[in-house]
Structure 1
Amino acid sequence: MGISSTYLSKAEVQDLLGVSSFGMWRLPRQHKDFPAPEKDHYRGPFAPEPDGPVWDGTKMYEWAAATPEFQHRGAFLERPLPGQRQPGRCLGYRDTAHGPATDWQTSIGVIRMLHTTERGAASAMAVDLVAVHNREIVTVCALFGDIGHTGPALIAADTAQPGIEYEARWGRVADLAGQSLPWWPDLLRRPEVIRLWEPGSPAVVADVLADDREQVLRRAARNTAFSEPARSALNAMADAIRNQRVEGVATDIQIFGGHSDRMQTRLVIAAQHDETIHPIDVEEDEELLEAGWREIVASSQPDAVAAADVALGYHPELLPYGRFTDVRAKEGTVAERWARRLTVCDPTAGHATLAEGKEVEAFFVDPLTDMPVVRTKDDGDKGPKWLFYAPLALPAGRGELASAVLYGTVWITTTDGQVHPAPCTPGDHLWWGDGWGDRPTEAAYVVNQLLDNLATPISLRDHWSKAPAGLTALFNEKHKQGTELTRATLLHARMTPPPPRR
């Protein structure tokens, strides 16, 4: 959320201030603080150049309100308050096309408070009011989303100049309204909740509605095609998301309510969540949860596809997959050697998350790691791709790491003739070369572990401090795609001490 920028031409500034062309010429000579012309930083690349200089509308409107000669043409909520004011009163709730609102009768006219952080809402509402020949509402305020010195930050647009937005003070509106103003946490800022409030009433206790992610997970958990462990895993993630959202409401109330107490801000918390039913107890047995998610991602149920997509965005560590990776399917590469052992299969939820938005040629599975693999169609430009998740560990066997091959990611060849994408955790990635100050410690740390035990479960915790300096230096070099680093090269690099500090 932010103030929508408006730039005014010379003619528009003259109209705003009610001056002639000569008067406009005199203004910067009479007022040293008169805003200077500016470049329109928000003009689109194909928009025509303005015919002449332009001024920031917000700065000009606020300058007018602070300049005695033009106060009557400046921003309403920046003008000096009337000396004697009639007590304000709440006119009640209003449904609008731009969100729920409450109207307040004040000594300067009606102020409409829009309970939304949608960008441009204040100006859009003011424009609509002008279009219906509004004669009562002088100013529309919307929420900025942050908190200011006197309360929640506001963005205002006056019906006298509906295209110009400016920042307004909560305390100023409260002074005009003659009372503390209601505020709703974001997730409770709904019409059916807001319309229940009236001055003097206690905070409404309202439910935090399930978001799209929670609805997907709850629906999947009702699917009897899944086992009880899988359904428990789905419900556990839904419960965790619900708790997180409720905690967000509680935090907002603490921040905005606490600020009101400390600063004596004129603010009323108008709604709160039901504290008697939160937080929900969440299943924390990771082995049970991981077993449930292994079943889900191996399923072809539509509910499984939707749930896997949620899990990848919310808690990918519960899934049996490492980092998403894509490489070009080219002959003679290490990826081609690996692809020879892949077997064609019907798609699962895991395949669906890989293939989303892609033109797919076929679905595969790696029989040694059970990782889903997708081959895209030839796009006629650079050729098809292999899409896959890195494994979390390599299968146990009789071999050792024979080499590391650099092609799109790090690949591992073994002494018993196998080729694998190097294992990697979901939140990391394996790379090499100059990272503009960032060094490829992830690749160095993974290879360091595999040199000792090919089947070790990979950890990348503290890789930046634990990766051997010599291996990090080796991977920091600008190797070409397809470069193969032999076991001897890797071991020699690992034993190479870091250069002395000067």
Structure 2
Amino acid sequence: MGAWQSLNELADVASDADAIVVLRPDWRVFEGPNVDALDIAIPHGPYHVLWEDIARVIGMPAPYWPINMRDPQEMLRWRPGSQTVCAQAQHELNVGPLFQLAAAYSDDHRTSRTLRELAHVIVHRACVEASRNLEHWDDYKRHVTRDVVFAAKPLRMPDPHEDSLPQDIREFGWTEVLQRTDTLAEQCISIARQWDGGEGFPFSGIVHLGADNGTSIIRAEWVSKLIYAPRNARYRVLGSRLEGRTLQDPSTGLPVLELPDKTIIAAVAKRLPTVSPLHSIVLDGSVWIRTEDGQLFLAPAQWDGGATWGYSGTGPTILAHLLDRLLDDISTPAPSTEVLGSHTAPGLNALTETDWSHGTVITRQQLEEARNARTTSRRRAHSTTVRSE
């Protein structure tokens, strides 16, 4: 069972049963997966039973289906004495749309290869989880496993990670899918988002900018440059069929959605598409990057973490690493959470952990001074001269 459903509710459904036995998702040391039972004729709550209790009462080992192998049709088909079934393990994510859209392209097309790779990764994970679930039984005493018959085992799947696609092929493939206008493409995008947040997309996560109250000059400047764009599958990344104006950031080509209440939802670039050096940053609702040629960008980010400020934690640490990189190369990829625990300039850490007021502008010179500062105290960051928009 995928949830801790009430045994009493099950008793109402199976009114002709003498007892209801439910497999729990947790395991007990030396006893295997936890099992609860409810005797219909006895007006007491459910109680814990052992696998040997079940085997003794029903006169045979109890059937066990490993995780990701609990196909209702196969379970209903099972009878005492049935041979162990070898079948494909099923992940909770349906990979069918991935294979279906891949069939719209030739097998060697980068989009087809991208979609099939993700499908293979998902089904392989299901196989691995089912196999590990069965291997858990090896850790238990022999008397436990003799009271169990394994009703199913997973069909072995090759490991797709041994021949992974290059990232540029994945990004090309997903770019193609994101530009489509059919619902099958939207389903594939939803699967990728649920699987890994869209790690293979040509952009990372999304940023929510609250409803405009007219006080943010930097937001107004950025919004004024957005252009209209026809709706396609990439807007599924911003929300499940949210209604609003479909826009595009002309500087990055990334989708932006403006909701009726003027809330802005925007895709975030993994790297900035410019060679103009960093001029300043603006901390206002989000982190903004200004370049020397006057362009304004939302700070780039990776799928597993964005930049924030004002406390000691992951977001400010990622921002410190991002600023360190952008000072040297404006087009460098944004850091991922892999940088956590690695060294960066103490002065930048102190600066990003400071609770700057919204509208604060920090210039390139001030960022370089923070990076070069020898002190690790917060006082250095607070003494930096800043201005508001």
Structures share fold, TM-score greater than 0.5: yes
Amino acid at match of 1:364: L
- 1:432 Cα deviation from its structure 2 partner: 0.6
- 1:420 Cα deviation from its structure 2 partner: 0.6
Q: In 2, distance between residues paired with 1:128 and 1:162?
A: 17
- 1:198 Cα deviation from its structure 2 partner: 4.0
Partners of 1:439 and 1:472 within 8 A in 2:
no
Match of 1:185 in 2: 66
- 1:438 Cα deviation from its structure 2 partner: 5.7
- 1:469 Cα deviation from its structure 2 partner: 1.2
SS of the equivalent of 1:246 reads: helix
TM-score by length of 1: 0.68
Structure with the greater alpha carbon radius of gyration: 1
Q: Is the alpha carbon distance of 1:238 and 1:196 closer, same or farther for their aligned partners in structure 2, counting shifts above 3 Å?
A: same
SS of the equivalent of 1:194 reads: helix
Instruction: Name stretches of at least 5 consecutive residues in structure 1 with no aligned partner.
Output: 1-115, 379-383
SS of the equivalent of 1:322 reads: strand
TM-score by length of 2: 0.86
Number of residue pairs aligned between Structure 1 and Structure 2: 370
Amino acid at match of 1:223: A
Match of 1:367 in 2: 250
| Farther off after superposition, 336-345 or 467-476 | 336-345
The question of 1:429 aligning with 2:306 is answered: yes
Q: In 2, distance between residues paired with 1:163 and 1:344?
A: 64
Q: Is the alpha carbon distance of 1:229 and 1:262 closer, same or farther for their aligned partners in structure 2, counting shifts above 3 Å?
A: farther
- 1:248 Cα deviation from its structure 2 partner: 1.5
> Pick from 325, 338, 347: which aligns with 1:449?
325
Q: In 1, distance between residues paired with 2:325 and 2:2?
A: 49
| Farther off after superposition, 186-195 or 294-303 | 186-195
Q: Is the alpha carbon distance of 1:385 and 1:256 closer, same or farther for their aligned partners in structure 2, counting shifts above 3 Å?
A: same
Q: In 1, distance between residues paired with 2:108 and 2:230?
A: 21
> Pick from 185, 206, 216: which aligns with 2:97?
216
The question of 1:465 aligning with 2:342 is answered: yes
Partners of 1:117 and 1:143 within 8 A in 2:
no
The question of 1:344 aligning with 2:228 is answered: yes
Q: Is the alpha carbon distance of 1:211 and 1:150 closer, same or farther for their aligned partners in structure 2, counting shifts above 3 Å?
A: closer
The question of 1:207 aligning with 2:98 is answered: no
The question of 1:411 aligning with 2:295 is answered: no
- 1:418 Cα deviation from its structure 2 partner: 0.9
Partners of 1:300 and 1:347 within 8 A in 2:
yes
Aligned pairs for 1:184-333 (under 5 A) are: 184-209=65-90, 211-224=92-105, 228-259=109-140, 261=142, 265-275=146-156, 278-279=157-158, 281=160, 284-286=164-166, 287-315=168-196, 316-328=198-210, 329-331=212-214, 332-333=216-217
Aligned pairs for 1:67-86 (under 5 A) are: none
Match of 2:218 in 1: 334
SS of the equivalent of 1:402 reads: strand
Write out per-residue CA displacement over residues 404-460 of structure 1, whole angstroms, 9 at most, x where no aligned residue.
Answer: 10122210111111111111101101111125x667111111111111111122233
Q: Is the alpha carbon distance of 1:478 and 1:298 closer, same or farther for their aligned partners in structure 2, counting shifts above 3 Å?
A: same
- 1:263 Cα deviation from its structure 2 partner: 5.3
Q: Is the alpha carbon distance of 1:294 and 1:117 closer, same or farther for their aligned partners in structure 2, counting shifts above 3 Å?
A: closer
Partners of 2:106 and 2:112 within 8 A in 1:
no
The question of 1:119 aligning with 2:1 is answered: no
Q: In 2, distance between residues paired with 1:151 and 1:391?
A: 47
Q: In 1, distance between residues paired with 2:72 and 2:258?
A: 48
SS of the equivalent of 2:237 reads: helix
Write out per-residue CA displacement over residues 274-314 of structure 1, whole angstroms, 9 at most, x where no aligned residue.
Answer: 33xx2265761222222111111122232222211221222
Match of 1:147 in 2: 27
Q: In 2, distance between residues paired with 1:492 and 1:164?
A: 68
The question of 1:400 aligning with 2:265 is answered: no
SS of the equivalent of 2:349 reads: helix
- 1:126 Cα deviation from its structure 2 partner: 2.7
SS of the equivalent of 2:319 reads: helix
SS of the equivalent of 2:95 reads: helix
Q: In 2, distance between residues paired with 1:464 and 1:474?
A: 17
- 1:122 Cα deviation from its structure 2 partner: 2.7
Q: In 2, distance between residues paired with 1:151 and 1:465?
A: 41
The question of 1:390 aligning with 2:273 is answered: no
> Once superposed, what is the RMSD of the aligned Cα atoms?
2.7
SS of the equivalent of 2:140 reads: helix
Amino acid at match of 1:123: N
Write out per-residue CA displacement over residues 92-137 of structure 1, whole angstroms, 9 at most, x where no aligned residue.
Answer: xxxxxxxxxxxxxxxxxxxxxxxx45423532233445xx5x5xx5
Instruction: Name stretches of at least 5 consecutive residues in structure 2 with no aligned partner.
Output: 378-389
Match of 1:494 in 2: 371
Partners of 1:127 and 1:163 within 8 A in 2:
no
Amino acid at match of 2:271: A
- 1:350 Cα deviation from its structure 2 partner: 1.5
Write out per-residue CA displacement over residues 132-175 of structure 1, whole angstroms, 9 at most, x where no aligned residue.
Answer: 5x5xx543211012233333211111213456222222222223
